[in-house]
A = this chain, B = another copy of it.
Amino acid sequence: LEKKKVTIYDVSQRLGVSTATVNRALNGKPKVSEEMRKRVIETADEMGYKASKTASSLSRKEIKIGVVLNDTIAGFIKDIKSGAKKALEDLADYKVSGEIRVTKTPDDKKEFEELLWEMVDKGCNGIAVVPPSIEAELDDVIQKIRARGIIVGTAVSDMPTSKRNLSVRNNGIVAGQMAAQILHWLVGREPVAIVTGYRDSTVHKETITGFRKYADLLSMNEAGIYEHRDDPEIAYYLATRMIRERPDIKGIYFGSANSVTFCNRLEELGYAGKIKIVASDLLPGIVEHMKKGTVDATIFQNPFDQGRLVVTYIYRMLAENFQLENDVKYLNPRIVLTSNLELHVPE
């Protein structure tokens, strides 16, 4: 259990070279012969060498991580931001500095792109982003940034075709499954609808898939998808139309966080409590509806942790040449009911 620490010095002695060479070899730095590199790496792990993160972060120069967040109508980004901030604070000890910027306008491609380049100009070694809804729009920009050797990670959503280095997001499949199972408890085989923002975005596609898979398994009765594109007016209209066209609907799954308007409209129409609702996340409006009983449960996607983790993983790729399996970290969705609401809402 108690074996003495093997240092870079030990390795260098064994090979009769300097510590600098060992350092270069071990960290994929330029000025070493491939031959040497091979020998170093070999004897290093033969000797059981483990790099000391503390020592290296003490001596290396500063790492800069930028965070660029697309604001959404719903103010959903707030917790992501606190999470990223927390990560940056925790990493300050490791010679990491950073900056967080949120767009003024939601889904503004141009503004978002500008913030991105600003970060590049400031010399960031890594950038964490929450991309705008139309994900593919920015693929080329991300690729250009990547070409400079800058690590890019996404949170919340993803840009799968952009060559970003990593994605942190909710496990949408399981979130959808959970919603289906709960709605099944609540309404059995009565008709249930899906309401979501952009049905083609990476994450929403996953939640819908998961929901349908499980609804199928339980022989539930799905009454269609309503896609509001994060637009309150559309949401208002869709809620109205849904009630008119399908008054038999007894359950709804809100696949995206931004569903407060839809909910409000249902309430106006006198359907509060009559239709069972499983929502996503905990924006203030949803919390109110849960307390009133309009919303029965919500699938919490832990935005704080998403923000914290992208930044942390980017750091680890930069400093510890860490790799995420499959480049994606899926977070576990959590069920929030009124009985455990207190643990998820500050105060």
Contacts and interface: CB of A to CB of B under 8 A. Distances in A.
Most B CB contacts (10 A, CB to CB) among A54, A55, A181, A344 go to A54
Contact of A54 (B2, B57, B171, B342): B57
A194 to B, nearest CB: 16
Nearest to A335: B335
Contact of A178 (B50, B54, B185, B339): B339
A49 to B, nearest CB: 13
A181 B338 contact: yes
Contact of A332 (B54, B171, B181, B343): B343
A97 interface: yes
A345 interface: no
A174 interface: yes
A174 B340 contact: yes
Contacts of A1: 97, 99
Contact of A339 (B97, B99, B174): B174
A272 interface: no
A53 B93 contact: yes
Interface residues of A, number: 35
A185 B185 CA distance: 7
A122 to B, nearest CB: 10
Nearest to A344: B332
A120 interface: no
A179 to B, nearest CB: 8
B52 A337 contact: no
Nearest to A176: B339
Given A332-B340, A335-B340, 10 more contacts: A2-B97, A54-B93, A54-B94, A55-B58, A174-B339, A180-B339, A181-B337, A185-B186, A214-B339, A335-B335
Interface of A: 1-2, 50, 52-55, 57-58, 92-94, 97, 99, 171, 174, 177-178, 180-182, 185-186, 214, 332-335, 337-340, 342-344
26 contacts: A1-B97, A1-B99, A2-B97, A53-B93, A54-B55, A54-B57, A54-B58, A54-B94, A55-B58, A171-B343, A174-B339, A174-B343, A177-B339, A177-B340, A178-B340, A180-B339, A181-B338, A181-B339, A185-B185, A185-B186, A332-B334, A332-B340, A332-B343, A333-B340, A335-B335, A335-B337
